[in-house]
Amino acid sequence: MRTTPTPPSACPGCKRPLQAASSAGNSVPEPGDFSVCFDCGQILRFAQDLTATAAAESELSLLEPAKRALLSSWRARIKRTYPGV
Ligand SMILES: [Zn+2]
């Protein structure tokens, strides 16, 4: 697992301050990459400056099905772990 500091921003879903991104492997976030807020399950996309923005449904629909399924599975796991968020 690798955690990379990112410029401070707020999750568009829950407003939690975000200042880092973690990957299960060794990858680092790049502009345009997708992520998931671990507090509320909001699907995020990194802007050019690596701040987190809300991913638009139209952007998600362009992803390969396997990547879209991976994001959905993480989101469902977070929602199960933290119901009510
Ligand atoms: Zn959030």
Q: What separation in Å is there between the alpha carbon of 76 and the centre of ligand 1?
A: 13
Backbone angles phi, psi at 32, to 5 degrees: 95, -15
Residue 85, pLDDT score: 54
Q: What separation in Å is there between the alpha carbon of 14 and the centre of ligand 1?
A: 4
Arithmetic mean of pLDDT, 4-25: 93
Q: What separation in Å is there between the alpha carbon of 6 and the centre of ligand 1?
A: 15
Share of the chain above pLDDT 90, in %: 65
> If pLDDT is split at 50, 70 and 90, which confidence band does 31 have?
very high
**Segment (H or E) for 22:** strand 17-23
Q: What separation in Å is there between the alpha carbon of 79 and the centre of ligand 1?
A: 11
Fold category of 2-81 in CATH: Rubrerythrin, domain 2 (2.20.28)
> If pLDDT is split at 50, 70 and 90, which confidence band does 49 have?
very high
Q: What separation in Å is there between the alpha carbon of 68 and the centre of ligand 1?
A: 18
pLDDT, tens digit, 9 for 90 and up, residues 51-68: 999 999 899 999 999 999
Mean pLDDT of the chain: 91
Q: Is 15 left (phi over 0), alpha (psi -120 to 50) or beta?
A: left
Which residues have a Cβ under 8 Å from the Cβ of 8 and sit 6 or more positions away? 17, 18, 19, 51
